Amino acid sequence: MDDGLAMSCEKITYRIHAVQRMFERKITAEEVRYVLETGEAIEEYPDDTPYPSRLILGCHKGRLIHVVAANNLNNQEIIIITVYEPDPSEWDPDCKKRIS
């Protein structure tokens, strides 16, 4: 990604909510890392606190995955907030835009 989110993905911190959702949805840390490294930021949340975050869409071995992540530039870490497979009833066919 060219927006600095991947930051080489050396330090990734998972919020408890993200770990719970990954477990429930059988999404691995490998899949999350792949989305961070290859995905596309499709929504920006600049007003999120304590750090601005974004929604990233990626595809790992044919599986579409959304990752909400924030950058803590002070600690050079990516914070994973939640992870899920997009619901086709809520997203366009490419899973890039929400259906109104």
* Residue 1: predicted pLDDT: 40
Could you state, in order of their start, the residue ranges of all structural domains in the chain? 13-84
Q: What is the pTM of this model?
A: 0.88
Q: What is the pLDDT of residues 65-89, one digit of tens each?
A: 999 999 998 888 999 999 999 999 9
Give the per-residue pLDDT at 75: 87
**Could you tell me the sign of the dihedral formed by the alpha carbons of 27, 18, 33, 3, in that order?**
positive
Q: Is 4 exposed, middle or buried (0-12, 13-18, 19+ CB in 10 A)?
A: exposed
List phi, psi (to 5°) of 7.
40, 30
Rounded to whole angstroms, the Cα distance separating 53 from 55 reads 7
CATH 3.30.2310 fits 13-84, yes or no: yes
Q: Which residues of 37-72 are buried (b: 16+ CB within 10 A; e: fewer)?
A: eebebbeeeeeeeebebbbbbbebeeebbbbbbbbe
Q: Determine contact, residues 80/96, Cβ cutoff 8 Å.
A: no
> What is the tens place of the pLDDT at every residue in 36-63?
999 999 999 999 999 999 999 999 999 9
- Given a contact cutoff of 8 angstroms between Cβ atoms, the answer to whether 34 and 27 are in contact is no
